[in-house]
Amino acid sequence: MIAKRIPVLFENEEECCACGACENICPAQAISFCENESGFLYPKIDEEKCISCKNCVKVCAFKNKTVKNSPLAVYAAIAKDESIRKKSASGGVFTALAEKIIKDGGIAAGVVMDENFNIHHSFISNADDLKKIQNSKYAQSSTRKTFSQTKDFLERGKTVLYSGTPCQIDGLLSFLKKDYNNLITADIICHGVPGNKMFSDYVSSLKKDGEVSEFVFREKKLGWGINAVANINGKKRKLWNSASPYLYYFTKGVIYRENCYKCKYADSHRPADLSLGDYWGIERQHPEYLDKKDWNEAKGISLVIANTKKGVEFLNSAQNEIELKPSSFEKASHSNAQLRHPSERLNRDEIISVYKSGGWSAVENHFKRNIGLKRYKSRVKSLIPKTIKRKLKAKM
């Protein structure tokens, strides 16, 4: 009897982005994702179920595909509906586009956080549920079976707007194998992703003070930036960037999965029809766009890059939902380093080693020993009036 040749999905951890394409394409359902000792997800093959078709190896866009798109148009943008903008992390563009898709009878796929603080992709077909996919979630989302479900929707004639990290979008496109006219893809301008387990452990550490019923990574009421809020025992606790070990290590880029530090999408060649993010530095790049009412950076302004003709056409069809002002990739990437190069590792190995050996409590203790007076930096910055912040930022 000839022994089965089990495919090798990756030889080292930096070769896998956990997009989920291999799991979705496996005809024998022999692939599942499991956490490694650092809490990051990696695919595992059930050798008993595997039929050695090697579809999983062939579909891997992260290792096999080269993205050739280049920016066709770059914009600063805001949602025209201010209520959307208030509840969004940035300028509300993704939510406005998702609302348009749903009103036209389509479906939006985005990232949700469930009641157990697990972060995963889900489909929204009702505008009342858009709040579930609003705001940023700074941990890796599990795409689960959404690639297969997306294909089913598309084959049935439904229009789908699918948002995710660039590697997830590239994985989806590789899984689908062909371009669908009724699919619009949007990749986020991504720094890198921590594992969901580390985030869950962080939330669990907050539970020592009471029941945590909600966690918002970016609370717009505290300003445009990474200012989180946790609802603990019915009271909102502000979690300033430099006072929260999770947010601090996230913004420093030292708790991402291995492949993020060699990300091939951290440049001008993006896989999605649209790339969406914050237009950081707009006060320096386009001071002529800013005013005290709608185009006020304190309320958040989005960056939108159209990478394909389909992306350009979709933006043109959404003029009632979003307002666009022209920019350039050079200006947009100036304060968005992840459009120029991947995040740097810095002391990533040290922090992950601490987490592996002692769990989240060890990471917190490490943070407290090393952060010093920086713990109060975010809080002090929050006390500076927005008008003064705006003038200072424009001069930097």
Residue 377: its pLDDT value, please?
59
Residue 9: its pLDDT value, please?
97
More confident residue, 299 or 335: 335
Q: Of all residues in the chain, what percent carry a pLDDT higher than 70?
A: 93
Residue 243: its pLDDT value, please?
83
pLDDT digits (tens, 9 = 90+) for 271-328: 999 999 999 999 999 999 998 788 988 889 999 999 999 999 999 999 999 999 999 9
Q: Of all residues in the chain, what percent carry a pLDDT higher than 90?
A: 84
Render the burial of 74-90: b for 16+ CB within 10 Å, e for the rest: bbbbbbbeeebbebbbb
| pTM listed for this prediction | 0.93
Of 82, 100, 106, nearest in space to 92 by CA: 82
Task: Please say if the pLDDT value at position 73 is more than 90.
Answer: yes
Of 51, 4, 47, 1, nearest in space to 26 by CA: 51
Residue 262: its pLDDT value, please?
95
Residue 225: its pLDDT value, please?
82
Average pLDDT over residues 53-64: 96
Task: Please say if the pLDDT value at position 30 is more than 80.
Answer: yes
Contact by Cβ (8 Å): 261, 343: yes
What are the structural domain ranges in the chain? 13-64, 65-396
Distance from C-alpha of 34 to C-alpha of 189, rounded to nearest angstrom: 26
Distance from C-alpha of 140 to C-alpha of 32, rounded to nearest angstrom: 16
Confidence class of residue 241 from pLDDT cuts 50, 70 and 90? Answer: confident
On whether the 13-64 domain is CATH 3.40.50.720, my answer is no
Residue 380: its pLDDT value, please?
57
Q: Where are the beta strands (DSSP E) in the chain?
A: 31-35, 41-45, 73-79, 107-113, 119-124, 160-164, 183-188, 212-216, 228-232, 235-239, 274-278, 302-306, 322-326
Of 220, 185, 186, 193, nearest in space to 90 by CA: 220
Task: Please say if the pLDDT value at position 393 is more than 80.
Answer: no
Distance from C-alpha of 108 to C-alpha of 333, rounded to nearest angstrom: 27
Report the mean per-residue pLDDT for the chain: 92
pLDDT digits (tens, 9 = 90+) for 94-140: 999 999 999 999 999 999 999 999 999 999 999 999 999 998 999 99
Quote the Cα angle for 240-337-287, to 5°.
80
Contact by Cβ (8 Å): 36, 258: no
Q: Is 316 exposed, middle or buried (0-12, 13-18, 19+ CB in 10 A)?
A: exposed
